[in-house]
Structure 1
Amino acid sequence: MKLLVQLIFLVLLSLTGCRQRTTEKTPAVIDINPARLPVLKTGEAVATVAGGCFWAVQEEMSLLKGVRKAVSGYAGGDLAYPTYEQVGTDQTGHAEAVQIYYDPNVISYDVLLDAFFAGHDATQLNRQGPDIGTHYRSVVFYRTPNEKARVEAAIRRENASEHHQGRVVTQAVPFSAFYPAEVYHQDYYRHNPYNLYIHLVSEPKVETFKDRMEGKLTE
């Protein structure tokens, strides 16, 4: 019986995934296109990370105290203004990424990095669960030498923790550009709670994230 349940679960995962074409009518609550991103406020900082399908990562980062906005998009590739379909071919070099606008007086960059690692399995190379490809790789895009050093320190902390059995494969890559994803991807987790992928894959990741980041989340 246990084997049958496992087989059914694997079949369900094979029928879903972050690459699925959605037919849900997602409310266009964020009017976003490649030419428009949130304006950085005075005293605010920005960070860009990638940790698998951006649906869960965006939700996780949005839950943190001090984070004003998290935007799903694409980073790390060569093609300007890529589409979801182009990134999904694994030919553009982009990763599904999330750009985070936060108040460093409320949440430090180091805590933000710890939250990033709490939200995905950083030991999986070029994949997250059922999602396979370099566009699902684990990356932190640093903007300064200081940020690079802090990313490397966060990786050492994660490797020294008991959160994973394997070694962290997260890349530390210089930031070059971020392109926001299509409108229907923004806040996808919240707008599609009954989506099979969200239920089977994203929800467990977000719940694990909440457990690890207890005390750092908004009410």
Structure 2
Amino acid sequence: MGFWHTMVEVFPRFMPVLLEGAVIAVEVAAGALVVALAGGLVLALATLAPLRPVRFAARAYIEIIRGTPALTQLFIIYFGLADIGLGLPPLAAAIVGLGGNGAAYLAEVYRAGIAAIHRGQREAALSLGLVPTDVMRYVILPQATRIMVPPFCNFAIQLLLATSLVSAVAAPEIMFRARNLVMETYLSPHVYLLAAMLYLAVSIPMSHLTARLEQRLKRSR
């Protein structure tokens, strides 16, 4: 009972601080999602390029990023680049780090979505006089997007949760502020429970919306 009594007392003081961190977490997740979507598309198209060096470079990036922890990549971007005079602010480093990491994973989603479209679609479009870039832009990608939307939504949820990593590079999101509160008050169970509740309050509705969207897309197909 003493735990919950203390929780009631500290809730009005702690929650506004954590909510400020939640705003930063959403901003980082949104920026990283844009970077991941754009970068993933570029990587996916590069893996399908006719030039072997381009394919090799894209596959090498994907394998390296997928084979190393995201936290290590954040450290390299934030601390490593600073050592050679290319330092980034914490939020920019967080967006670039998580976005670059996500691009390697979304590249496979793009590739699978493109591969799911029957090759007859491409052949028919080429026979009508479309150039390959227009075939990809107007024929393949619009159809593949319907397949890729649910994985993209699931990735967005995981990306929001992954923003907890960026506290390691001083980005003032939820876990960064939670750690500061713990250092000030030594109420670690209360603070981290509130942080967990905040993550759940965002991720659970997003999960339900993703499930409904996936069902709607299945019915429309």
In the superposition, the TM-score normalised over structure 2's length comes to: 0.26
Higher strand share: 1
In the superposition, the TM-score normalised over structure 1's length comes to: 0.27
**Quick check: which has more Rg, 1 or 2?**
2
Higher helix share: 2
